[in-house]
């Protein structure tokens, strides 16, 4: 039930929300502003804002010095590929857990989630050696597999939560109507869970796009995505903050735009089933 809120309280709450949002967004904003400053302005102390020297040179130099389109394309392939592959594996898994749960399904789900709590560095050496042996180092295919495995617990968990909201009787009706397992998932379950699947896809694309640990370790040049592209601007000669900021802005811009346009879908998907 909606509660009556006084205008004063409403103003204070709005102000608090905007303040928190600004604090969260400030580093991104500062990075974008820095990307338009000269190197001298970028490192000036106290920090310059109004009196800074503004320039587009950083972007031009970053574009010339590196092959941005290749990094960008690698990011697209790796994040989309790992998410789509993850969905293909996770949809049947989540179906089984949601609609034909066994005695240990809950334990299995908890175990899957617990793997996300493990520090990634703990499996760094074994995974690196495994990839080396299989010839997967610096390949997009290798990264797709690695990131799919990293994000699979989250994908399964999210889909499991959405699937549980779908009445089992509808799937039984499909079975009575002659649908086998594949057709039941394809024609009935997937379209019904589409909002949930879409937000799972979006969130995992974002997670995979932002993944830096594994992408830097498992790639060198050929398959390196935008996270490695940023890292390449921290040169041994020192940090060039303005150029680094320009590179970072170029790296996050696509996902920031995607996130902006899909925010409604994301919020809807993440709160799916929370309120009946």
Partner 1 sequence: MGKITLQHVNKSFGEVAVIPDINLQIEDGEFVVFVGPSGCGKSTLLRLIAGLEDVTAGRIDIDGTDATHLPPARRGLAMVFQSYALYPHMTVRKNIAFPLKMAGLSEEEQEKKVQHAARILNLSNYLDRRPGQLSGGQRQRVAIGRAIVREPAAFLFDEPLSNLDAALRVTMRQEITELHQSLKTTMIYVTHDQVEAMTMADKIVVLNAGNIEQVGSPLDLYHRPANLFVAGFIGSPRMNLIEGAEAARHQAATIGIRPEHLDITEGGPWQGTVGLTEHLGSDTFLKVTLDTGELLTVRANGEVALRHGDRVALAPQQGKIHRFGPDGKALA
Residues that bind partner 1 (CB under 8 A): 167, 169-170, 172-180, 183, 187-188, 191-192, 194
Closest approach of Cβ 194 to partner 1, in Å? 8
Q: Could you tell me the smallest distance in angstroms from the CB atom of residue 80 to partner 1? A: 25
In the bound state with partner 1, the residue whose beta carbon lies nearer, of 47 and 168, is 168
Separation of CA 191 from chain center: 23
- DSSP secondary structure letter of residue 122: G
Distances (CA, A) of 160 to 69, 75, 84, 86, 272: 36, 27, 16, 13, 12
Q: How many CB atoms lie within 10 A of CB 257?
A: 10
Asked if residue 226 lies in contact with residue 73, where contact means CB atoms within 8 angstroms, the answer is: no
Q: Which run of H or E residues covers position 243? A: helix 241-261
Closer CB to partner 1, 113 or 194, in the complex: 194
CB of 107 to partner 1, least distance (A): 18
Residue 103 beta carbon to partner 1: minimum distance, rounded to whole angstroms: 10
Q: Is 164 helix (H, G, I), strand (E, B) or coil?
A: coil
**In this complex, which beta carbon is closest to partner 1, that of residue 59 or of residue 163?**
163
Compare residues 125 and 186 and give the one whose CB is closer to partner 1.
Answer: 186
Residue 269 · residue 199 · CB < 8 Å = yes
3-state secondary structure at position 119:
coil
Closer residue to partner 1 in complex, CB, 179/216: 179
Dihedral-angle region of residue 178 (phi above 0 means left; psi in -120 to 50 means alpha; beta otherwise): left
Distance CA 145, CA 233 (A): 27
Angle at 244 between CA 240 and CA 247, to 5 degrees: 150
Minimum CB–partner distance for residue 97 and partner 1 (Å): 19
Q: Taking the complex as a whole, how short is the minimal distance between the CB of residue 266 and partner 1, in angstroms?
A: 21
Helix (H, G, I), strand (E, B) or coil at 234: strand
Shortest CB 70 distance to partner 1, Å = 40
Q: For partner 1, give the closer residue by CB, 100 or 121.
A: 100
Closer residue to partner 1 (CB): 62 or 166: 166
């Amino acid at each position: 039930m909606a509660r009556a809120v006084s205008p004063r309280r409403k103003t204070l709450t709005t102000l608090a929300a905007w303040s928190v949002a600004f604090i969260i967004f400030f580093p991104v904003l500062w990075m974008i502003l820095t990307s338009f400053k000269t190197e001298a302005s970028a490192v000036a102390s106290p920090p310059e804002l109004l009196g800074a020297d503004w320039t587009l040179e950083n972007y031009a130099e970053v574009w010339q010095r590196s092959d941005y389109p290749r990094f960008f394309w690698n990011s697209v392939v790796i994040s989309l590929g790992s998410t789509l592959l993850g969905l293909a594996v996770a949809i049947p898994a989540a179906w089984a857990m949601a609609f034909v749960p066994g005695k240990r399904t809950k334990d299995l789900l908890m175990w899957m989630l617990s793997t996300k709590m493990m520090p990634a560095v703990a499996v760094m050496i074994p995974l690196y050696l495994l990839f080396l042996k299989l010839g997967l180092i610096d390949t997009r295919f290798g990264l797709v597999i690695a990131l799919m495995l990293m994000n699979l617990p989250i994908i399964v968990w999210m889909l499991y939560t959405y699937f549980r909201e779908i009445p089992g009787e509808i799937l039984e009706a499909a079975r009575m109507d002659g649908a086998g397992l594949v057709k039941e998932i394809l024609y009935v379950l997937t379209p019904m869970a589409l909002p949930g699947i879409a937000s799972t896809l979006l969130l995992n694309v974002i997670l995979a796009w932002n993944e830096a640990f594994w992408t830097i370790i498992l790639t060198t040049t050929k398959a390196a995505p935008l996270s490695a592209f940023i890292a390449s601007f921290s040169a041994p000669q020192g940090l060039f903050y303005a150029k680094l900021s320009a590179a970072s802005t170029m790296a996050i811009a696509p996902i920031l735009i995607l996130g902006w346009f899909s925010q409604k879908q994301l919020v809807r998907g993440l709160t799916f089933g929370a309120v009946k």
